[in-house]
Amino acid sequence: MNRRNHTKVIKGVSLYTRDNSKSGIWYYYFLINGKQIRRSTSHCDLDEAKIEAIAAYKAAKTSPETFIVKPTSFETVARRWLKQFEHAKDYARKDLVIRRFLLPFFRDKANVKDIAALRQQHINDYLLWRRNYYVDGPGAQTPEKFTYMRAGKVVKAKRTTFGTPKNTTLNRENNVLRQIITFAREEGRIAATTILKVATQSDDGERRPEFSYEQVQTIRRVARQRVADAPKGRRTRERQQLAYYVELLSWTGMRPAEALSLTWRDIDVTNRKIYLRRGKTDQRIIPMLFQELVCLLNEMRAARQSELENNGEEWNETEALFVHPDGRRIIAFATSLANLIKACDFPKPEGAEDYSAYSFRHSLATELANQGMPDGLLVKLLGTSREMLDAHYDHSDANDALAWADRQRKSLPEPDGDTPRCNPGAGKPLVLVDPKSSDLRITLARA
């Protein structure tokens, strides 16, 4: 502490300003029952700061419990913060971040028994530990294979493996840590003078792989053919469910988990709407933009009704769209979809990621963007943001822009004599402004 910024008020009470402070605010300092008390007076004037410091000292001597905060663990504060979101739709995600990452590090590894002792070094160490969690940390120590019971049989499976998380994933998780620290400050558990910063990671800049229009058609065709080629019985039904799943994703752009959460009461074929009650971002209504989607849902409904009738069971509107014969919800199609894509023999996409169920979502987003759907409608349809749309979903390039211009040109009437052509013989120009106005006319044409 620089003595030039230090002033003694009365015995045991001092005032000081920070060496690098631009505001000039005074802070008081004294001891109560051996505990240091350092707080802001909120005053820049020295006389007012002295009055505030003396009043605080007398209050602390009278009621020391109001100034001395008992040690509170990181876990206690984190769970108190989480309780606010007990009925929020993202409660499970926040709880998972706390249980899987924050507590194992701050409670077990860093041994932060009092959150008041939390320092920037702990934050920095956590960020590095979390990034390597599945590489050489606790997440990498799980066995590669495991067994579980299915239909009375022991099934061996390979455990899902994870690598280094994306920065977008880390930023989403780190926001939980950031809010816990803010909550602790508000409760007086962390001093206002303690500098703690959870850095925001830079954008990954990766565009997730999409299927081309031709690839989507191929997947649909191969999926149906695999149903026809499958031996009658359980395998045929499994492949039929996969074919339905693929078509639903390609016509709606839903996330995989959203499609699997749908029940029949969410489907309104008459008004061509799907009511998504458990979306990632929020509840939303998905319009049935394509007649093929209406036909698909009618086919799925008829198939399930027939199956129930053959088993002597009644139709249930609350049943999921994708179920096993006994009505249990299908959890995922990851393995079967990977086998289907492999059967299509597509070349590996550019970049680190391979094709997945999300590729249908990106394909539809790009196609609708190319067809001229406004961004506002597109983000509503997909349940995303404009920033995410630009960063991950719109895969348009210069060729798409030229194709869009061609489509727009074909939809226009022949130009009149007042509209100049960019190049004789190039076809009808695309007029982007009113040709009758006095504004500058901009035209596009392919040479």
CA–CA separation, 49 vs 29, rounded Å? 12
Residue 192 lies in a domain: no
Other CB atoms closer than 10 Å to residue 403's CB: what's the count? 13
How does 132-141 read in b/e, with b if 16+ C-beta sit within 10 Å? ebbeebbbee
Provide the CATH number for the domain around residue 363.
1.10.443.10
pTM across the whole model: 0.55
Per-residue pLDDT at 377: 80
State pLDDT tens for residues 223-277. Answer: 999 999 988 888 899 999 999 999 999 999 898 999 999 999 999 999 999 998 8
23 domain-assigned: yes
Model confidence over 44-59: pLDDT tens digits? 889 999 999 998 888 8
pLDDT 10s digits, 282-341: 678 888 988 999 999 999 999 999 999 999 999 999 999 999 999 999 999 989 999 999
Residues 343 and 222 placed together within one structural domain of the fold: yes
- CB atoms under 10 Å from CB of 181, counted, come to 22
pLDDT tens string 79-119: 999 998 888 878 989 999 999 999 999 999 999 889 988 99
CA–CA gap between residue 202 and residue 200 (Å, rounded): 7
Cβ atoms of 18 and 8 closer than 8 Å: no
Tell me how far apart the alpha carbons of residues 215 and 205 are, in angstroms, rounded to a whole number.
24
Q: Tell whether 229 is covered by a domain.
A: yes
386 and 244 belong to one structural domain:
yes
Q: Give residue-wise pLDDT tens across range 71-87.
A: 889 999 999 999 988 88
Beta-ladder partners of 14: 8, 29
Q: Are residues 284 and 388 in the same domain?
A: yes
What's the domain count of the chain?
Answer: 4
Please identify, among 66, 93, 117, the residue that sits at the C-terminal boundary of a domain: 66
Cross-strand bridge partners of residue 212: none
Query: Do the domain assignments include residue 306?
Result: yes
Asked if 279 and 303 sit in the same domain, the reply is: yes
**Residue showing tokens 């109001």:** 66
Residue-number span of the structural domain to which 97 is assigned: 74-186
**What is the share, in percent, of the chain residues with pLDDT greater than 90?**
38
Are 39 and 52 within 8 A, CB to CB? no
